[in-house]
Structure 1
């Protein structure tokens, strides 16, 4: 694979926990590194989490629109990988983690992919679910096209939430503002996530990710996620898949105890 461009922007990096295991944690779109507080609090005696804020998220600067966003966030994550680390990614962060597992497997001991939104797997395996996802995504995409980022963030958040999730008016104003700030990056990664621009699904490429991989999803998440997780489990050399009952797409935030139990058992087995 080609080298990533060097278009550096300084980003904010948070450290959580104090355990000997070194973990790189990559958050989802329209969240921030603080999303790992619950999980790191439960695993903090075993692991120290290094958690960067993506560009246009958290305390990092806004994306300068230079280069490709997927490349830029991969570059930022790669800069935090030192020696043998365990990698945990959620949603878009999990898509970045998957790419790193292929491109730099020597730098990681294990990988946990929580609800990886690498839709290209379902494009191949379950096109009917991709069509359904497109129908569900149409309202927020139309809002983005109309320039209404506040409505787009609200609709995007609703699509990936469950019935029990806090409603938009009940979220703190700062949380709503952070989601609105980051929503513009969603269409910027379509070619990477849906069309596999990087070529991760080309024959033999995923074989490079030879470390143990755990694929986690919630039982109440969007139907397309089951196809993605199951498809990746079939394609990766050493992968296990698990489901957290009662959780949706935001399971590392909504169900940190169950996620921590799954990760702890995975680490012990690996």
Structure 2
């Protein structure tokens, strides 16, 4: 019995130390995030209601996407914050303001995560109100349909339908728009690869070139309003180019399989520098 009590006390003591350590980590991450957001007006979330809070979350997601470096830093800090908070969320140490800040940052991370990965991380630690705000934030102009692409229930959707592009073009937040365009184009390229691997690889390389330039953007570049617009136009142009390529087999009077073989021959000819009859 004494041995059992001793072991229980040791475990209980370790749990207490883990909680205390986690509390310190949470507060440290909150401090880092406060510094990161020192130029961002979050009053709409903390003082507003409904649409104001929703707009603030969307603007917050846009704010952390200012550069790839800021986005990566934010996502990593909030990841550490969430991991620590999962351990000590039951503690009474945190004030209501601190809890609101935690939910605020977790909500923004969920939105950015969704824009980047296509699925939102677990939101179980957030209160019901914040979860609902995230849900609404991810419904921007019906773009939630974009996120559903690829699901079994959405196989009948034509991702080359101009309607999807039109929905994204309505979005006013430039970095959010670019993220969604990237997802749409990536899905379109994946579809092309299923029938024409050569062209799929070619478009993947073009897409990567655009994404690399976008990820290398600097804060000084963003001050020029045309920079993000240029990225947007490049993605849209590539999307239209891909749509056109998808139907070129009809212009050649051949089927999809023959077009794929035709492109393989062209690629080999280019690689080994020889000519072949085009008739």
TM-score band by shorter chain is under 0.3
Normalized per residue, which structure has more strand?
1
